[in-house]
Amino acid sequence: MVDVTKWPMFSLMRVQDLASVRKACVFGASANEAIYITNDDEVYVIGLNCGNCLGTGESSSTIVPKKLDFLSGKKVVDFSYGSGPHVLLATEDGELFAWGHNGYSQLGNGTTNQGISPVLVSANIINKKVTKVACGSHHSMALTDSGEVYAWGYNNCGQVGSGSTANQPTPRRVSCCLQNKSAVSIVCGQTSSLAVVDNGEVYGWGYNGNGQLGLGNNGNQLTPCRLIGLQGSCVSQIVSGYAHSLALTDEGLLYTWGSNTYGQLGTGNKSNQLSPVQIMTDKERCEHFRSMFQSHWNEDLKEVIEIDQFSYPVYRSFLEFLYTDTVELPPEEAIGLLDLATSYCENGLKRLCQHIIKRGITVENAFSLLSAAVRYDAEDLEAFCFKFCVNHLTEVTQTEAFWQIDGGLLKDFICRVSRCGAFKN
What's the rounded Cα separation, in Å, for the pair 33 and 82? 12
Q: Which stretch, 15-19, 150-154, 268-272, 379-383, has highest mean pLDDT?
A: 150-154
Do 322 and 225 share a structural domain? Answer: no
What per-residue confidence (pLDDT) applies to 317? 83
Angle, alpha carbons 234-288-275 (nearest 5°): 35
* Mean of pLDDT over the chain: 86
Tens digit of each residue's pLDDT (9 = 90 or more) over 130-148: 999 999 999 999 999 999 9
Q: Which of 21-30, 104-113, 341-350 has the lowest mean pLDDT?
A: 341-350
Q: What letter does residue 179 receive in the DSSP assignment?
A: T
What's the rounded Cα separation, in Å, for the pair 325 and 312? 18
* Domain residue limits at 328: 283-419
For residues 230 and 255, is the Cβ–Cβ distance under 8 A? yes
- 418-423 mean pLDDT: 74
Do 316 and 203 share a structural domain? Answer: no
What per-residue confidence (pLDDT) applies to 74? 92
Do 342 and 247 share a structural domain? Answer: no
- 5-32 mean pLDDT: 84
What per-residue confidence (pLDDT) applies to 296? 46
Do 318 and 185 share a structural domain? Answer: no
Candidates 206, 80, 85, 86; CA nearest to 143 is 80
Do 264 and 166 share a structural domain? Answer: yes
Q: How many CB atoms lie within 10 A of CB 251?
A: 15
- The residue type of 395 is E
Tens digit of each residue's pLDDT (9 = 90 or more) over 203-233: 999 999 999 999 999 999 999 999 999 998 9
Is residue 2 domain-resident?
no
The H or E element that residue 133 is part of is: strand 130-135
Tens digit of each residue's pLDDT (9 = 90 or more) over 348-402: 888 888 888 888 888 888 888 888 888 877 788 888 888 888 888 889 888 888 8
State pTM to two decimals.
0.67
Domain end point (choices 243, 278, 313): 278
Within 8 A by CB and 6+ apart from 29, the residues are: 50
Sequential DSSP letters for 372-394: HHHHTT-HHHHHHHHHHHHHTHH
Q: How many domains does the chain have?
A: 2
What per-residue confidence (pLDDT) applies to 230? 95
Candidates 65, 52, 170; CA nearest to 120 is 170
What per-residue confidence (pLDDT) applies to 99? 96
SS3 content of the chain, % helix, strand, coil (to 5): 30, 30, 45
Q: What percent of the chain has pLDDT over 70?
A: 91
What's the rounded Cα separation, in Å, for the pair 106 and 154? 7
Do 301 and 258 share a structural domain? Answer: no
With left for phi above 0 and alpha for psi between -120 and 50, is residue 283 left, alpha or beta? alpha
Q: CATH no. for residue 236?
A: 2.130.10.30
Is residue 66 domain-resident?
yes
Tens digit of each residue's pLDDT (9 = 90 or more) over 69-94: 999 989 999 999 999 899 999 999 99
Do 34 and 106 share a structural domain? Answer: yes
Domain end point (choices 278, 308, 326): 278
User: Is residue 13 over pLDDT 90?
Assistant: no
Tens digit of each residue's pLDDT (9 = 90 or more) over 264-318: 998 878 899 999 998 864 444 445 445 544 554 444 444 444 444 667 778 778 8
Q: CATH no. for residue 306?
A: 3.30.710.10
**pLDDT higher at 333 or 237:** 237
Is residue 424 domain-resident?
no
